[in-house]
Amino acid sequence: MASAANANLNAVRETMDVLLEISRLLNTGLDMESLSICVRLCEQGINPEALSAVIKELRKASESLKVSENCTT
């Protein structure tokens, strides 16, 4: 039983490592934690394209805040 659980855990880790490498090749800017959250959301039925749009919008908003903070200092 423990052996099957270990094999499953290793398969999950290997899958996440592959996804992280693909993410890096595509220059997504996602770290392992962010990628893991995105995968879990997709597994729960969130539309991947909608999730991508939200991430892009959050990045734009974050960049705008950084620029405006730099202009005020």
* Number of folded domains that form the chain: 1
Element counts in the chain: helices (H) and strands (E): 3, 0
Average pLDDT over the chain, rounded to an integer = 93
Domain range for 31 is 1-71
25-35 pLDDT, tens digit per residue, is 999 999 999 99
Residues 23/35, Cβ–Cβ less than 8 Å:
yes
Q: Which band of pLDDT confidence, cut at 50, 70 and 90, is reported for residue 1?
A: low
Residues in CB range of 38: below 8 A, 6 or more apart: 30, 51, 55
